[in-house]
Structure 1
Amino acid sequence: MRFNLEQLGAVGFQDLAAALTVATFGSGVQVMGAGRDGGRDLYHRGPLIWKRIEEQLGEVWDGYTVFQAKHKAELAARPTDNVSWLWGQIRAELNAWASHSDRQDVPDYLLVITNVSLTPTPGSGGHDLTAVVLEKYVEGLRDGSRDLDGQAEAGRKAKLARISKIKKLRVWDGNQIQTLLTVHGGVRQAFPAFLAPADIFASLPELVDKLPLDKLEPGLRAHARTTLMGEGFLYFDEAGSGDGRGIPVHEVAIDLPVTYDDGTRRSTALHHVLNRAEHILKPKITTQKRPRHLVLAGAPGNGKTTISKFLVQIFRASMLNGAANLSADHVVTIAGVARALARLGCSLPRHRRWPMRIDLAEYAEEGGLNEDETLLRWIARKVSKRSNAGEVVPWALQSWMRQWPWLLVLDGLDEVTEPLVRKRLIERVTEFVNDAEAENCDVLVVLTTRPVGYTENIAPTQFERIDLDYLELPEAIRYGTLATQVRLGTDADRIERVTRQLRKAADDEALRHLLRTPLQVLILTIIVDGAGHLAPDRYSLFWGYYDTVFKRERAKIGGLHHLLQEHEQQIQELHQRVGFELQVRSEAGDRSTATLTAEELRQITWHVLNDVDFQPSGKDAGLVESIFSAATRRLVLLAPRGDNNGYGFDVRSLQELMAAMHLTTGPLDKVIARLRTAGPSPHWRNTWLFAAGRLFATPQPHQHEAVVHLVQSIDEAADDRLATAVPIGPRLALEIVEDGMARSIPKWRDPLIAHGLRVLDEPPAADISAITRGLVRFADTGDDQRCLVADALRDALGNHPISADTATKVQELIPAIAREAGTRPAVQELAHVLRRPNVPPPSEQAPAWDEFNDEIATYPASETTLAVLRPAADALQQIAQQEETDADAIDAIIAALADTEAAKALASALTHILPREAALMRILRDIVLPTQHRRPIGADLRS
């Protein structure tokens, strides 16, 4: 059998070369990863013993050996053309070794590995020609006839001296690679691209340890085909049009910008994931350095779920492409995915993976986290449900995983909020990736989450974090145009009008920050399509969407027209109560994907009517059913979810908007009290921002002042979460400004940003790049704003060592971020701000642990309080000394915080050592206190 080496691509062929070299010569061969490698794809130092491979029997290379992979994407029809290409490649490498570029250490031996097959004709064939490549090159350097002067002669002789260190050059050509693949079956099976698409399922008996086909093959084939057509759709009624049409995800998918390595490197989500999926192999032979798996973090509406669906659809299409047992619709869908990838500068993956997407909230709710449950067992259950071939058992699926590459997308970690459930979920994910590595499985896991509240840093040796960035303006316009074309079809006049308004928004300083996420861009297109007014903040954008949908449906003559007109307030109130109820339910451990049954929805409708003196149990009984129908069938913001006939908001941000409307209904003092309760919770953060946005959206200065004062005071008297050590107010302030609230009102904007800049007093956090991006965007809006940021950096650089370190980190990130954002040169100069004159450098001072201990020892408290206070104080000292924590220490601190007096004592004692204990502050912020912040607060908000 001949294997198609061309379809691997350059990266895949280099991986193949590495795997075959290690299999031939042993683990002493060092595999180089991506990046500048000084001409070394692989290398080996010491004796290299050739195994029984044709004429090389018994040979030993003793010294420094370098291996180079040379892949020709398309082979020419004439063998001589291929040989010429290879000779050019080798000559370029020899030139580089002969020069003094970045290749200081010249090898003793050089092995070139290529997919070009050399002809065996004696004397004139490619095999014999390449055998004398090194000899001819050296002869050329010995020839001094073309030396123009002494300098040229010296340069030639220096090159000759360097290249003469190479004792032997050999080529593994395409024929040799074919032989090696036959010999090394384990390597061959690690590259499923060698299998023809039609053979994928037919060869399953060989790939799964001779399992009978009736146990596995029908289920996997049915699952791949069924999900290709059944799970590859988006619904614009989820985020806008109400027409109920399912749109194939590939028709509207875009590639989203991402940052990684603490924000210093930039790519796009699709390219990053597809490159990773193409590059990694089984752990024992891959050239991909750990971590191999990905955490994809993105803000609300940033497109995490859409891109997760698209990624899985890409690999379904790749796996099934060319198979014989496909319907016409399957073929059309696969072709559509390929076209979408081409539009985005990608192609169907050569390295086929069996894809699976898991909704983590559904997984947590439906029993996936039971004591006797594993993630693999859950996957087996899901596969079984989506086929008619019978039950797929976990042990069979595990055998399949050992042999065949997987892509596993785990979507929505942020929707699992209850601390114990979340902890158990993370344990299951960690167990899965560690077991897969131990079993030498070629598995790539992509986990999505919102960044707010993601502090666990899951298995850092296994997972790399990449962050979805905001869309740049040209990207936003392209996406808005694409979505409008798909949504409006052939209505050229409306499409042109919407895209024209999009460009106007991009040119408007007050509106362009709304064009940041795909969801916001889509909503903006729906609003301008309905001739709606665009307000310059995120709350008004989403509320404008609801208003546009409602007005559009109300304007339709007949049907529910009069109902929508006469009962607009009741329908709005219904959505608000439902949004709040679902938000409360979804933070409970067993209700991560909260829904309301039809009966529960009718009950809420009954109460909405009853509260304004309708008679829903009497003469207005028919009104309950009419409003229920209007909400679920006409406006379709509330839609059926899952298999249990429940109703919910398919777009989480709309649920959070409605919950925010409910929270902000009533007297201002009660509204502020609710927001004070909700502020620390990551689960409620987007709702909180919508609520603050609503208070800022009306010209009521007393409301604006109340929000600013709330942010400035939210960490006062909050001992139960040690707010003196880990405040939340600064981040809330920055997020308010980032959302567009108060951006044009200096009276509120300036104190908010000043409070937000207190984040510089903390140790650098995982979101430091996101904070820096926000500060850069703010500084670019005007000279006054830039001066506010500059002054804060000056103060931080002259303050204590922790703030100086954080400010320095921010300054290190500013140049790259400012260049990407295209800011004014003055903003880039923030990277060079110095501490204020006559302010001495921050000095290291020993933390006053004696004062800390004295305060704990003398604190007037009951024996019950002291019983939890003392272990917590000991745990804090242990953390500070060891710069790490364990479950016992966390439990001791949490137990003390549950006692009001103990929490007060700890907060007071901590003032003696903060901010001189950077490690303690970081661990409290990132590991210990998130448990407190995630406590369910729904009952408190109800009351």
Structure 2
Amino acid sequence: MNYLLENLGDERFQELCQALLIKEFPNVQCFPIGQPDGGRDAVVYFNSARNNKEFAVFQVKFVKNPQRINDPHKWLLEVLEGELPKIKELIPRGAKSYYLLTNVTGTGHLDSGSIDKVHSLLEENLDIPVLCWWRDDLCKRLDSSWDLKWLYPDLVTGTDLFRYIVDQGGLTDSSKRFDAITAFVRAQYEEDLEVRFKQVELQNNLLDLFVDVPIHFNDTKEDRHLQYLFRGVLREFGSQEDNNVIGAATLFSKSLFQENVPQLVLEGAPGQGKSTLAQFLCQIYRMKLLKLEQEFNTLPISVRPSNLRIPIKVDLRNLASWLSKDNPFSSDEDDEALYQWEKSLESFLIAQIKYYSGGFEFSVSDLHAVAKVSSLLIVLDGLDEVADIQMRKELVNEVVKGINRLRQTSASLQVIITSRPSVFENSPGFPIKKFPHFRLVSLTKNLIDNYTTQWLRAKKIYGSQASEVKKILKNKLEKPHLRDLARNPMQLAILLSLIHTKGSSLPDKRTALYDSYVDLFFDREAEKDNTVRENRELLIDIHRFLAWILHSESEQGKHEGRINTERLQSLLSEYLKSEGRDSSMTESLFTGVVERVVFLVSRIQGTFEFEVQPLREYFVARHLYETAPYSPPGNEKKGTKPDRFDAIAKNFYWLNVTRFFCGCFSKGELPSLVERLNVLLEDVQYKNISHPRALTAMLLSDWVFSQNQYSMREAVKLVLKGITLRHVLGSGKRNSDVLVLPSGCGREQLVDECFNILKEKPTIDYAWEIIDLIVANSPKEERKNHWYNYISGIEGEKEFSSWLTYGLYMGVLPDLTSEELNLLIIRHEFSINNLVTLLRAGHSKIIESDEKFSSIVIDHILNECIEIPLKRKETSILLNFIHGINPKSYGLAFDISKPGPLREIRSRYGYHFDILFDGGYDDSLTIQTQIAIPENQELKMCYEFLQYSSNETDKHATEWVNGLAPWETIVENLRVLWGDRWSIYSLAITSSNVKIPKDKEEIDLFDVSTPLCKRTFYARNASSIWWRKQIESASTEMDFMFLSLLFLTSANSNLLKNVLDYIQPVFDKISNDNWEKVTKQLEYTRRVGNRRDLALNMSKLPGELTARTVAAIGICVNDRDSIKLYEVHLHDYVGTDVSVLKFCQRVAFTLVEHDPSRWNQAISIISRIYSQGGTFDAYYHSIYRRRYMGYPVQIPVDVAKQIANQPENYPRFLVDLAERACRDEVASQIVPIGTLAKKERWFENANLLTV
């Protein structure tokens, strides 16, 4: 097929060519577009020979109008005149073949055709083999590259590409299959044209009202690749006006993001816009497929995808029904679709395609065949709406299996799952490791302004009237409680409607806001319709009653929150009878409910549901509050307001209902609400989990207690009490908004209490959580003043150092002025730790301007391998030097799967310092960034070294892997400048992984005349006798450290057997601080270069091993062997050696990973070490995130309760883990509210039906 290559333009055509090259040459190195490349758009290095620098060169030439070129031969001659000198320059550098790629069509006449002529020309002028890929060559390669056709849809536009790919997919009767998918896409397009919130009385066009809600990545320390990817997309496409936030639609539409994150979970609070985003993402692809160019061109450029996908949007409630063998698209029990039913995602998808396409035949085989040649987008919306725990487990399991099957066949598959954040962490969900979790966050001020403008335009409100609405909104947003309401798109729409109608008279509470909105809506409808006008209160009560029925049934897995026409009419009739009303009103009320009021909508023919879940939850809350009976002494009744609160407050599924319910309470009822919260807090099941405190914080945020200051203060005390007692704070990455209080509702008291806790010198992990709370609950300037006022009065150096670190993590230390910082420096002796803290905070200038400070820091960098994140274009000599000497930044050459220049590989992992000396490869830098040559002599030495480093990193990673030359250049230059230092030794040991033959001539490890890298490489395969000789030669502590790290890095079972007795005394000669440096670096050097775990034979080890030796060997062995080492040698260890304690901690977690029955033993070890101050923060968080986050952990409930009852004895993350187990147990014992209401006869005296 002849593709429309010219539609791509110059740069996109080059990207396409590079993508084709990657398919043919997996190890190809592609160069950035639009930069000087020396005649190279891509190269492929040959890896067959030692130190191989040979490569093939690829060059791309694009012509805008190739049909106008009458003589391709002549055109190419003119092009090559300027390129041949560049190509010839590459031959001495290792170029062994040359490829030219072009969109020009070649002619095939023998000898006289352009193909033969150009080939002859190139061979005459070049001494290497040459080949030209003409237009036909590129098109033939594209024929089988289905994924690229969808990534570059402009090659064949719109429906033509769609039809072509379906036709070429090997489908029988392909025309019908094309028609089925087209009809399906069109039907879903028409269904999603409007925003799902009709009550705002707008045209409801999705494109007119869509606002790209900001998104945040729930990152972990183990997700470094995703961190850098997210930051990279944020830098390029994020909003500069809103502090580099990025919208979810913008992020998800980028091909780079889709390639790296093919499946994810998107979390968002009620009304945050999850379902609207699902609609929007699918719509933009439907527009492209259906050739709706006019609509597509109205989209912001930032959200327009360059690729093409077939979108399939799924309501997960429908999938849950299907998995229960109930067809959600039909009320017919004898439904034909169920005869072909299979319990699988694919089976459901074909049922959905059949339904929306109008009945076209479509099979699972057809689905996989289309997927094979297509790119798919599957959006699974509303995981949280599948309330039944067992059903959700089954659904998650089937979705994961279905996605895995489709991914095997699909050319490209993107999966997005939406959900509210899980209120109990161990509820069934998708594992974070396989499904990275992202979350929607609050609207920024700019987005609020943008949405307001769109809303006014849609309402046709202009001029002074529009200005008045904006003015009132601006004034209201200055009040914290209303500002919080406006950060949610749905609530902002309600707020704007109320402002437009009522002006400044807005309610304070969240529930009251909904009350006002419902009143406003019924006021409008009453003017238009007699039924609404005459039966207003009855219609409101009916909606509340129906919401109760649907929400209660949904919790029990019944009907997925829907009701069919027949049952709706039946319930209306029965409700009227129970209220003593005329049942003949049923028909008119039915019309009023479904046609006039439209809180209930029909998305599936013959069924009705509440349009948005928050509205259903609001009506349920009102129903429960308004129908609660009076229970006087002597005539007590069940189902009172306290009874109902106790029930729904304990039920996680009813959390949002609980918030609305509490918002109904009057001023006089608020003290009883606080009382019930305290009862909940003391409940035997709930006292060990954060739910009572989190719920109280939410109620404070909803301004529930604003009418009663005493009740508000009592509620704040309840929250603070939990923090003081070290209960789970809910301030981790995934729950950062749980304990965020508004100003005037406990925020100030919370921040003060947190600062008081920090003054008591808590363990560092607890301090981190406290700092998280401070950051979440205070503006930066406020916490800066609070922090600075306290640290300015500190006298002790140790406390000062701690608070300096607190300031770093609070984000306030970087904002100190030079004057403020100098005042602190004058009053305190700045130790190396404090100077490093200043470096981390970005205050490198004040250090570099002081010769003494800079000398201390450089000495520390050379003697300890430290890491500090480096910003792009960072001009600090010291910060760049830290990265320039870091062994990890060079060791990346061994670990990378796609080789290239080391400079580029390092940038992928955040090491950007190379670009500061020559502008580098990074296309985000349009000008060279120069570092001024410093006057300070030691800084000048650092600068000199960075120049050497920058030059060497131009070399390909294969040169670093297959030879010592670049390593020696780096290391020997460092030695010339500073002599033998610990960081230099560590760098040299990293180089010992190179793949070269062993030197035959023996080398002495301490022969300073021999390059250090040669010595470390020789040691890698040295004999036991050689090692014993080196042990005898070592004389200084630095010798002992170097020898120990090198031995442990190189050790095998034979060396342990023959040398361990000799080297153990060396280990013990090293000070505690320096031994910690050895083991810290060993954790890296033992893993770099894909070294295997050390094979351990316990019987061949010496009988007496010191604690240090055991812990050091434990770093090198697998988990099971580390357990053996611990049980034989360290089970009764009572020392304080940090490296040993750290190893014991690791073993404790390894124990339960391999044998969950050993939790009691594990927590005994952990508690003992924690009491000795062994928090080891970074290590803890790494283990926690990698092994447990996102996966159900079967910690026994009795163990969890033991931890939760004594949280001060355990690391914070383990307390969090225990709380999750307690929550899981609570969740498993919750009785559905509908069942409880029926059992206790809540509605008996109200003459209302029960579920």
1:259 is matched with which residue? 216
- Structure 1 distance, partners of 2:763, 2:159, is 66
Shift of the 465–347 alpha-carbon distance from structure 1 to 2, 3 Å rule, reads: closer
Q: Report matched runs for 1:355-366 at 5 Å.
A: 355-366=311-322
| Equivalent residues of 1:25, 1:48 under 8 A apart | no
| Equivalent residues of 2:550, 2:563 under 8 A apart | yes
| Equivalent residues of 1:223, 1:383 under 8 A apart | yes
- Structure 2 distance, partners of 1:680, 1:461, is 30
- Structure 1 distance, partners of 2:532, 2:403, is 54
Q: CA deviation at 1:626?
A: 4.5
- Structure 1 distance, partners of 2:134, 2:1221, is 50
Would you say 1:933 and 2:886 are equivalent positions? Answer: no
Structure 1: which amino acid aligns with 2:349? I
Q: Report matched runs for 1:142-153 at 5 Å.
A: none
| Equivalent residues of 1:262, 1:766 under 8 A apart | no
Q: Which runs of 5+ in 1 are unaligned?
A: 50-59, 81-115, 139-162, 281-287, 322-330, 843-848, 851-871, 897-902
| Equivalent residues of 2:214, 2:443 under 8 A apart | yes
Shift of the 684–203 alpha-carbon distance from structure 1 to 2, 3 Å rule, reads: same
Q: CA deviation at 1:446?
A: 1.0
| Equivalent residues of 1:763, 1:803 under 8 A apart | no
- Structure 2 distance, partners of 1:213, 1:121, is 44
1:421 aligns to what SS in structure 2?
helix
Shift of the 363–71 alpha-carbon distance from structure 1 to 2, 3 Å rule, reads: farther
- Structure 2 distance, partners of 1:608, 1:879, is 62
Q: CA RMSD in A?
A: 4.8
Would you say 1:559 and 2:515 are equivalent positions? Answer: no
2:183 is matched with which residue? 222
Shift of the 172–578 alpha-carbon distance from structure 1 to 2, 3 Å rule, reads: same
Of 307, 310, 320 in structure 2, the residue corresponding to residue 354 of structure 1 is 310
Shift of the 453–471 alpha-carbon distance from structure 1 to 2, 3 Å rule, reads: same
2:700 is matched with which residue? 737
- Structure 2 distance, partners of 1:11, 1:453, is 47
Q: Report matched runs for 1:470-549 at 5 Å.
A: 470-486=442-458, 488-489=459-460, 497-531=468-502, 533-549=505-521
Would you say 1:771 and 2:710 are equivalent positions? Answer: no
Q: Deviations over 1:606-636 (max 9, x none)?
A: 446644xx3x3xxx34345444444333323
Would you say 1:709 and 2:709 are equivalent positions? Answer: no
| Equivalent residues of 1:12, 1:279 under 8 A apart | no
- Structure 2 distance, partners of 1:118, 1:293, is 49
| Equivalent residues of 2:41, 2:58 under 8 A apart | yes
Would you say 1:131 and 2:84 are equivalent positions? Answer: yes
- Structure 1 distance, partners of 2:295, 2:679, is 54
- Structure 1 distance, partners of 2:784, 2:149, is 47
Of 554, 560, 584 in structure 1, the residue corresponding to residue 552 of structure 2 is 584
Q: Deviations over 1:658-686 (max 9, x none)?
A: 11112223359932332222224332111
| Equivalent residues of 1:539, 1:694 under 8 A apart | yes
Shift of the 574–773 alpha-carbon distance from structure 1 to 2, 3 Å rule, reads: closer
2:295 is matched with which residue? 336
Q: CA deviation at 1:457?
A: 5.6
Which segment drifts farther, 413-422 or 747-756?
747-756
- Taking structure 1 as the reference length, the TM-score comes to 0.71
1:631 aligns to what SS in structure 2?
helix
- Structure 2 distance, partners of 1:123, 1:573, is 80
Of 416, 422, 431 in structure 2, the residue corresponding to residue 459 of structure 1 is 431
Q: Deviations over 1:758-790 (max 9, x none)?
A: 469467868636525964x74xx4798446314
Q: Report matched runs for 1:206-221 at 5 Å.
A: 206-221=167-182
2:619 is matched with which residue? 658
- May I ask how many residue pairs the two structures share in their alignment? 777
1:386 aligns to what SS in structure 2?
helix
- Structure 1 distance, partners of 2:1225, 2:30, is 42
- Structure 1 distance, partners of 2:92, 2:642, is 79
1:232 is matched with which residue? 193
Q: Report matched runs for 1:25-40 at 5 Å.
A: 25-26=25-26, 28-29=27-28
2:53 is matched with which residue? 63
Q: Deviations over 1:313-332 (max 9, x none)?
A: 111111121xxxxxxxxx5x
| Equivalent residues of 1:358, 1:411 under 8 A apart | yes
- Taking structure 2 as the reference length, the TM-score comes to 0.55
1:550 is matched with which residue? 522
- Structure 2 distance, partners of 1:224, 1:798, is 61
Q: Deviations over 1:255-285 (max 9, x none)?
A: 1111114499641011011014x654xxxxx
- Structure 2 distance, partners of 1:191, 1:233, is 30
Q: CA deviation at 1:754?
A: 5.1
Which segment drifts farther, 647-656 or 600-609?
600-609
Would you say 1:435 and 2:405 are equivalent positions? Answer: yes
1:296 aligns to what SS in structure 2?
strand
2:362 is matched with which residue? 392
Structure 2: which amino acid aligns with 1:481? T
Shift of the 888–386 alpha-carbon distance from structure 1 to 2, 3 Å rule, reads: closer
Shift of the 641–259 alpha-carbon distance from structure 1 to 2, 3 Å rule, reads: same
Would you say 1:636 and 2:598 are equivalent positions? Answer: yes
- Structure 2 distance, partners of 1:199, 1:739, is 52
Q: Report matched runs for 1:293-442 at 5 Å.
A: 293-321=263-291, 331=292, 334-339=293-298, 341=299, 344-346=300-302, 348-367=304-323, 372-388=342-358, 390-439=360-409, 441-442=411-412
Q: CA deviation at 1:20?
A: 2.6
Shift of the 352–509 alpha-carbon distance from structure 1 to 2, 3 Å rule, reads: same
Shift of the 348–404 alpha-carbon distance from structure 1 to 2, 3 Å rule, reads: same
- Structure 2 distance, partners of 1:14, 1:680, is 59
| Equivalent residues of 2:56, 2:97 under 8 A apart | no
Q: Deviations over 1:39-97 (max 9, x none)?
A: 99988665289xxxxxxxxxx9932869999999xx767999xxxxxxxxxxxxxxxxx
- Structure 1 distance, partners of 2:718, 2:197, is 39
Which segment drifts farther, 127-136 or 570-579?
127-136
Q: Report matched runs for 1:529-928 at 5 Å.
A: 529-531=500-502, 533-556=505-528, 559-560=530-531, 563-564=534-535, 568-595=536-563, 597-600=565-568, 603-604=571-572, 606-607=574-575, 610-611=578-579, 614=580, 616=581, 620-644=582-606, 646-665=607-626, 666=628, 667=630, 670-695=640-665, 698-700=666-668, 703-719=669-685, 723-742=686-705, 747-753=710-716, 755-756=718-719, 758=722, 761=726, 768=733, 771=736, 775=740, 778=742, 781=743, 785-786=747-748, 788-795=750-757, 798-800=761-763, 802-807=765-770, 823=779, 825-827=781-783, 874=1157, 877=1160, 907=1201, 911=1205, 916=1210, 918=1212, 920-926=1214-1220
Of 410, 418, 429 in structure 2, the residue corresponding to residue 448 of structure 1 is 418
Structure 1: which amino acid aligns with 2:308? R
| Equivalent residues of 2:1200, 2:1219 under 8 A apart | no
Q: CA deviation at 1:485?
A: 3.0
- Structure 2 distance, partners of 1:830, 1:186, is 64
Q: CA deviation at 1:656?
A: 0.4
Q: CA deviation at 1:827?
A: 3.6
Shift of the 201–632 alpha-carbon distance from structure 1 to 2, 3 Å rule, reads: closer
Q: CA deviation at 1:534?
A: 0.9
Q: Deviations over 1:462-485 (max 9, x none)?
A: 322221111123322321332343
2:53 aligns to what SS in structure 1?
strand
The percentage of counterpart residues that share the same residue type is: 18
Shift of the 824–610 alpha-carbon distance from structure 1 to 2, 3 Å rule, reads: same
2:750 aligns to what SS in structure 1?
helix
Q: Deviations over 1:382-433 (max 9, x none)?
A: 1112224631001111111111001111110110011110011111221122
